[in-house]
């Protein structure tokens, strides 16, 4: 299968603070890949660096064989690498429909209307509420809108930063089922950062685990889910010490806003 995304030795700093270092990652077309890790592990930094929101200090991001590191976020988006950011970030005073329209701002083609229809098929609740202000949607509906808006950019690789944040277990499962359908029906590859390791490992093909800005494990999700240290640190099987042996707290459940 074709390699869609190849990340080599990526390193990103915030001023004097190093957030990620030596990150290598590979994602093949049509795959669902998850990145797991504790608070502050560098997951959001990784996605923001891939999306061109932050420039890396060093390393390479090859998307479709072309280097995209250092490009502006809108150019990266235009090439098909699209991020639905952490915390949804919908435009609260715009309607659902207009929020979805904003997702297509990099496009000039005639397929936008058909794609809007497709988003409404995946998320019927967004169709029902298309005229409503986005800020008045429930948390789960806003998450659907954030994913729908990213889909309107017609991604080849859709990156989702904690889609289950603040959602009930049932809604989390529903969101992951829809993520699976989107991949199956369109072939879109998906890179999903998650706090809910059990759900992510059950729905993704391949997984990476980050600790303190580095990748410490990478494997097929079913293999990862069987590893004793992964079970212990990430699947609630005991004292969370992390795979690298450094004591750290596992995710405290973040609530939205």
CB of 29 to Mg ion, least distance (A): 26
Instruction: Write out the H or E segment, with its range, that includes residue 55.
Output: none
CB 187 within 8 A of CB 156: no
Residue 59 binds which one of ligand ATP, Mg ion, none, with CB within 5 to 8 A depending on kind?
A: none
Phi, psi of 210 (to 5 degrees): -110, 140
Residue 228 binds which one of ligand ATP, Mg ion, none, with CB within 5 to 8 A depending on kind?
A: none
Select 113 or 257, whichever has its Cβ closest to ligand ATP.
257
Footprint of Mg ion on residues 31-90 (CB under 5 A)?
Answer: 43-44, 86
Say whether 170 sits in a helix, a strand or coil: helix
CA separation for the pair 253, 64 (Å, rounded): 35
Q: What are the CA-CA distances from residue 80 to residues 96, 152, 211, 212 (Å)? A: 23, 11, 28, 29
CA separation for the pair 181, 17 (Å, rounded): 39
Residue 229 binds which one of Mg ion, ligand ATP, none, with CB within 5 to 8 A depending on kind?
A: none
Among 6, 28, 40, 248, interactor with ligand ATP by CB under 6 A:
40
Among 4, 36, 42, 172, interactor with ligand ATP by CB under 6 A:
42
Among 31, 43, 129, 183, interactor with ligand ATP by CB under 6 A:
43
* Residue 88 found at the interface with ligand ATP (CB under 6 A): no
Residue 242 binds which one of Mg ion, ligand ATP, none, with CB within 5 to 8 A depending on kind?
A: none
Residue 208 in tokens = 């990476």
By CB under 5 A, name the binding residues for Mg ion.
43-44, 86
């Amino acid at each position: 299968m074709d390699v869609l995304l190849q990340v080599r030795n990526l390193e990103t700093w915030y001023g004097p603070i190093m957030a990620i270092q030596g990150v290598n990652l590979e994602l093949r077309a049509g795959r669902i890949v998850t990145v797991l890790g504790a608070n502050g592990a560098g997951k959001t930094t990784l996605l923001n660096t891939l999306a061109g929101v932050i420039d890396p200090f060093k390393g390479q991001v090859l998307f479709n064989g072309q280097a995209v590191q250092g490009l502006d976020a809108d150019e990266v988006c235009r090439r098909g690498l699209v991020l639905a950011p952490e915390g949804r970030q919908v435009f609260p005073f715009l309607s659902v429909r207009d929020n979805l329209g904003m997702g297509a701002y990099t496009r000039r083609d005639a397929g936008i209307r058909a794609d809007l229809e497709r988003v409404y098929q995946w998320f019927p609740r967004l169709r029902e509420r298309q005229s409503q202000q986005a800020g008045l949607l429930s948390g789960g509906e806003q998450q659907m809108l954030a994913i729908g808006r990213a889909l309107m950019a017609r991604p080849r690789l859709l990156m989702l930063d904690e889609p289950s944040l603040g959602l009930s277990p049932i809604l989390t499962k529903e969101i992951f089922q829809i993520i699976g359908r989107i991949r199956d029906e369109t072939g879109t590859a998906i890179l999903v950062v998650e706090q809910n390791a059990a759900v992510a490992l059950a729905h993704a093909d391949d997984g990476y685990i980050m600790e303190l800005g580095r990748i410490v494990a990478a494997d097929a999700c079913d293999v990862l889910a069987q590893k004793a240290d992964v079970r212990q640190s990430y699947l609630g099987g005991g004292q969370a010490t992390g795979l690298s042996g450094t004591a750290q707290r596992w995710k405290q459940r973040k609530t939205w806003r």
